Chains A and B, each alone.
Chain A
Amino acid sequence: MSKDELFLLDFGLSPFCIRVRIALAEKGLQYKGQEEDLFGGKSELLQKSNPIYEKVPVLLHNGKPILESTNIVYYIDETFASPPLLPACSYGRSRARFWADFIDKKVFDGGAAIWRSKGDELELAKNEFIDILKKLEGALGDKDYLGGEKFGFLDIVLIGSSSWFPTYERIGGFKIEDECPKIGAWIKRCKGRESVAKTLPEPHKVCELVGMLRKMHGIE
């Protein structure tokens, strides 16, 4: 009987890697991992597994690489059935995929626009970011979770970014719980979940990383 070997090429603070770690935790899956040094030198295994992008996360399942965090979460859900992360009905799944794609396109880059800028550009970036969160607030509506009554796929896709929000708030001079109170409440609700609480990094570590990146980019 072959045993499932799961190996994760990881970077603790990456919201994309956090997604995968939460998904694995939700499924109760055992795995090994290695932290990649994205600034010092990427491992040979990473370069070999993801030659086009050389990016984390990469999940190796019995040696076979799966790339792109959202794809990895789909893969985990399709390969290890219980508990299901995506909704059962095809329309619900299409909504989940649509919003996951939106989050992928907008949230991380929207946040990066904040820490990469100052002055007028910063003000613009802040407003655009709040706008992105407002759209997600629309998707949330009055539900407890993005997926509905239960924590699921879409919550997993977004919650990883929340560890970066305090940094964006500090640099941009705004508070998410004031601008988007439902998203603020949703973040608190998700953090009450064990898989999330154990996986999310401390926000001050993200602050330190972003501080370093800003120096590297000559912003501060």
Chain B
Amino acid sequence: MAKSASVQLLGSWASPFSNRVQLALKLKSVEYELVEEAFYVSKSDRLVKANPVYQKIPVLIHDEKPVCESLVIVEYIDEAWTGKGPSILPSDPYERAIARFWAGYIDEKLETASGDEEKFAVVGKVLEGFALLEEAFAKCSKGKAFFGGDEVGYLDIALGCFLGWVKVAEIIGGGKLLDESKFPGLAGWAERFLSHDVAKDILPDALKILEFFGKVQAARAAATTAAE
């Protein structure tokens, strides 16, 4: 029990950023305790103490030391458990720079897209992103199954965590976003990633996410009513 208690993840099955960390821990076969935070309702004292700067999940607590920000945590996991399981980041510094660039692009694109209220603008940004990521996939994978090559790696984790959410957007919006006729490389990769051992027990499916959305809205409405 002491072994798994030394690694705790303050996170949530429903958060793609939390999923990134879970995917990395799974790749490295690290045992950990997932502490489910009801992040959509309130911030626990435990979370505020572990992440005073942002007060957000995920936070990895390793031997009582907190690590924050999902991509920082993924790199930390890769380094702290070097030699255990596959490497998450490429070993070549130039390939690492490319992987970090695209991971940064994904997060930056997301931030600007989520700031948009207008559905049309969001869809436009997502499609623009996919077009560039299709090219990135071709360059990074070099004809292999994943961005990381034969094995799942950093960029697979950084992008793959959003695949359930892409499906949700398609269900709500009623249009195919990850269209295999437009983005054959990415579409093929998505299918392979979702059925990979590392991902299939961690990434929630679209229906579960939709159900979660409903729960969040209800909880927020209840909180607002209680406050009035």
Q: Which of A's residues lie within 8 Å of B, judged by CB?
A: 52, 61, 64, 66-68, 71-72, 74-75, 78-79, 90-91, 93-94, 97-98, 101-102, 135
Q: Cβ of A91 and Cβ of B53 under 8 Å apart?
A: no
Q: Total interface residues on B, using CB and 8 Å?
A: 21
Taking CB atoms, residues of chain B closer than 8 Å to A97 are 69, 72, 75-76
Say whether, besides A90-B80, A94-B67, A98-B67, A78 and B72 are in contact (CB < 8 Å).
Answer: no
- Return the contact of B65 from the options A64, A78, A91 (Cβ within 8 A): A91
Determine how close the nearest CB of chain B comes to the CB of A198; give it in whole angstroms. 26
Per a CB cutoff under 8 Å, which of B67, B75, B93 touches A78? B93
User: Which residues between 61 and 91 of chain B lie within 8 Å of chain A, taking CB atoms?
Assistant: 62, 65, 67-69, 72-73, 75-76, 79-80
- The segment out of B17-25, B30-38, B42-50, B100-108 that lies at the interface is B100-108
Chain B residues whose CB sits within 8 angstroms of the CB of A71 once the complex forms: 97, 100-101, 104
The A contact surface, by secondary structure, is helix
Cβ-defined contact, B53 with A135, below 8 A: yes
Do residues B132 and A52 form an inter-chain contact, with CB atoms below 8 A?
A: yes
Contacts of B65 in A (CB 8 A): 91
In the bound complex, CA of A91 to CA of B105 (Å): 25
Quote the shortest CB–CB distance from A39 to chain B (angstroms).
Answer: 23
**Are A61 and B100 closer than 8 Å at their CB atoms?**
no
Q: Chain B's interface: helix, strand, loop or mixed, by majority?
A: helix
Number of A-B residue pairs, CB cutoff 8 Å, is 55
Shortest Cβ distance from residue A86 to the other chain B in the assembled complex, whole angstroms = 10
Let me know if A67 and B94 touch, CB within 8 A: no
Ordered by A's residue number, 17 sampled pairs between the chains whose C-beta atoms are within 8 Å are A61-B94, A66-B97, A71-B100, A71-B101, A74-B96, A75-B93, A75-B94, A78-B96, A79-B93, A91-B62, A93-B79, A94-B67, A94-B79, A97-B75, A98-B67, A98-B69, A101-B69
Instruction: Specify the chain B residue showing the minimal Cβ separation from A139.
Output: B53
Q: Chain B, 148-169, contact with A by CB distance < 8 Å: what is the 0/1 string?
A: 0000000000000000000000
Note all chain B residues with C-beta closer than 8 A to A75.
93-94, 96-97
Distance in angstroms between the alpha carbons of A201 and B67 in the assembled complex: 35
Nearest B-chain residue to A93, judged by Cβ: B79
* Interchain CB contact under 8 A, B72 and A94: yes
In the complex, what residue of chain A is closest to B99 when comparing beta carbons? A71
Residues of B within 8 A of A91 (CB): 62, 65, 67, 76, 80
| Contact partners of A90 in chain B: CB under 8 A | 76, 79-80
| Interfacial chain B residues near A61, Cβ < 8 Å | 94
Extra pairs beyond A52-B132, A71-B104, A75-B93 (6, CB < 8 Å)? A67-B97, A75-B94, A75-B96, A79-B93, A91-B80, A97-B69
Return chain A residues, CB-CB under 8 Å to B80: 90-91
Q: Which of A66, A68, A98, A135 contacts B94 (CB 8 A)?
A: A66
From known contacts A71-B101, A78-B96, A135-B53, infer whether A98 and B72 are also in contact, taking CB-CB under 8 Å.
yes
Assembly CA distance A90 to B72 (angstroms)? 11
Whole-angstrom CA separation of A78 from B62 in the bound complex = 25
* Interchain CB contact under 8 A, B132 and A94: no
Residue contact B101 to A67, C-beta cutoff 8 Å: yes
Q: How far is the CB of B127 from chain A (nearest CB, A)?
A: 15
